[in-house]
Amino acid sequence: MAQDGDPDTEGRIAYRITGPGRQEVTSWFASPVTRQGAPRDELAIKLALAVTTPGVDVLSVVQTQRTATMTGTAGPDPAEGPRGRPGRAG
């Protein structure tokens, strides 16, 4: 991100995304969310941003996540114990 102009009369600063930042966001939207260790619901954040970001293929974001979840490539759920049974993580 880079500052886009001077602060307004109330001191607010506008920012714009840089080329490398745009590449990172594109990569983030294209990759599934893993189930390990996220202290927040990254999937909900990703979907909320996807529907409000111009140029993002929301159906592709959803399908990528769905495929990863169905094939198990989204990673293990830390709340599950051995063999997918509920239990203590770790």
pLDDT at residue 79, as a whole number: 53
Q: Which two tokens stand for residue 48?
A: 């909320």
Helix axes 19-30, 58-71, angle to 10 degrees: 50
**Domain-wise residue ranges, the chain:** 13-32+41-69
Residues paired with 15 in a beta bridge:
3
Q: From CA 88, how far away is CA 90, in angstroms rounded?
A: 6
Mean pLDDT per segment of 10 residues, for the chain of length 90 residues?
88 91 93 75 92 94 93 62 48
Q: Which two tokens stand for residue 34?
A: 């893993």
pLDDT at residue 89, as a whole number: 45
Mean predicted lDDT score pLDDT of the chain: 82
pLDDT at residue 69, as a whole number: 87
